[in-house]
Amino acid sequence: MFTKETIEESLRTNWAGRNIVFKEETGSTNDDAKKLSESGAPSGTLVVADRQIRGRGSRGRSWETPDGANIAMSLLIRPTAPPERISMLTLIMGLSVAEGIEDALVECQDVNLSKSTTVYFPGLILSESKSFPQIKWPNDIVIAGKKICGILTELHMNDDNTIKDVVIGVGINVNMLEFPEEIKDIAGSILSTTGVKLDRSKVVACCMGRFEENYEKYNRTYDLSLLREQYENRLINRRKLVKVMDPKGAYEAIAHGIDSFGALVVSDAEGNEFNINAGEVSVRGLYGYT
């Protein structure tokens, strides 16, 4: 069962997800959360849908959620951070989802998620534990080389340029086994990559629990200084060759981690270091980039 009641029974949070709006089907949980905000819904309101038919991904891509298999949810928050620090919330949710999925897997059964690595060139990682949820900067969650989650954060401002609210949309492929032809080579689910069928209510609850913890750390500094190590431990880009899609021309570099504001730190063949704040970054060996 996947209902408001089953999610509430699994939640262990103080505020994140405590006001749940559950829908059997919706166009977009982000749109639903925005409407709820306009009617005065409290920070921490969570919209969850069993089926989403007009969801949005990054760069305008669509993200549909078939019924009975996946999670589409959007969290409404009213941050006190300045607007220029809001983009970091996408990374915080990504970290929280990766940690939450691991929590749900461990709770379900004894899954070995050790991060053992095989090094084939100094500083470059060849492979990591297949069942360990990782992050492809900035907002993809990856297991066994397959994208199983996408995140879209939307900031809404008041007329006086203060923050009205932030809606963080999350789409997680949980128990889906069949994928559209155009994405089957890059997409996966928790079930297809780990062989473990999870209770979606527990996944939602675990993700909300981790987000509440991580968001409260962020609120102490309004940056990622207290979360940087946690994030980098899951960063699939780290110490790997990446292709940076720069407007001036694509180039290859080695990714080293993130800075305290969430930018990806890379160095090119000449050793020049750059901080990338946005855009496409392809990771060698992932999503068909070889």
Q: 128 pLDDT exceeds 70? A: no
Which of 66-80, 99-113, 211-225, 250-264 has the weakest average pLDDT? 99-113
Q: What is the identity of the amino acid at 174?
A: V
Which residue in this structure is represented by tokens 């993700």? 207
Q: 2 pLDDT exceeds 90? A: yes
| Reduced 3-state DSSP string for the chain | CCCHHHHHHHCCCCCCCCEEEEEEEECCHHHHHHHHHHCCCCCCEEEEEEEEEEEECHHHCEEEECCCCCEEEEEEECCCCCHHHCCHHHHHHHHHHHHHHHHHHHHHCCCCCCCCEEEEECCEEEEECCCCCEEECCCEEEECCEEEEEEEEEEEECCCCCEEEEEEEEEECCCCCCCCCCCCCCECCHHHHHCCCCCHHHHHHHHHHHHHHHHHHHHHHCCCCCCHHHHHCCECCCCCEEEECCCCCCEEEEEEEECCCCCEEEECCCCCEEEECCCCEEECCECCEC
pLDDT band at 263 (very low <50, low <70, confident <90, very high): very high
Rounded Cα distance between 85 and 97, Å, is 20
Kindly report the pTM of this predicted structure: 0.88
Rounded Cα distance between 65 and 186, Å, is 16
Neighbours of 221 (CB within 10 A): 13
Q: 120 pLDDT exceeds 50? A: no
Query: Looking at per-residue confidence, does 181 or 70 come out higher?
Result: 70
Which tens digits make up the pLDDT trace of 76-96?
999 999 999 999 999 999 999
Structural domains of the chain, with CATH: 4-232 (3.30.930.10), 241-283 (2.30.30.100)
Are 134 and 143 spatial neighbours (Cβ–Cβ below 8 Å)?
yes
Instruction: Write down the mean pLDDT value for the chain.
Output: 87
Rounded Cα distance between 100 and 217, Å, is 16
Rounded Cα distance between 143 and 113, Å, is 11
- What's the confidence (pLDDT) of residue 67? 65
Q: 248 pLDDT exceeds 90? A: no
* Tokens read off for 81: 């951070």
Are 191 and 177 spatial neighbours (Cβ–Cβ below 8 Å)?
yes
Query: Looking at per-residue confidence, does 114 or 87 come out higher?
Result: 87
Are 187 and 218 spatial neighbours (Cβ–Cβ below 8 Å)?
no
Residue percentage of the chain with pLDDT more than 70: 84
Which tens digits make up the pLDDT trace of 7-60?
999 999 999 999 999 999 999 999 999 999 999 999 999 999 999 886 555 555
- What's the confidence (pLDDT) of residue 53? 83
- What's the confidence (pLDDT) of residue 25? 93
Give the residue among 224, 289, 279, 219 at the shortest CA–CA distance from 257: 224
- What's the confidence (pLDDT) of residue 68? 83
Q: 285 pLDDT exceeds 80? A: no
- What's the confidence (pLDDT) of residue 122? 33
Query: Looking at per-residue confidence, does 282 or 272 come out higher?
Result: 272
Q: 166 pLDDT exceeds 70? A: yes
Which residue in this structure is represented by tokens 């509440």? 212
Which of 1-15, 82-96, 130-144, 155-169 has the weakest average pLDDT? 130-144
* Tokens read off for 21: 């709006």
- What's the confidence (pLDDT) of residue 227? 98
Q: 275 pLDDT exceeds 60? A: yes
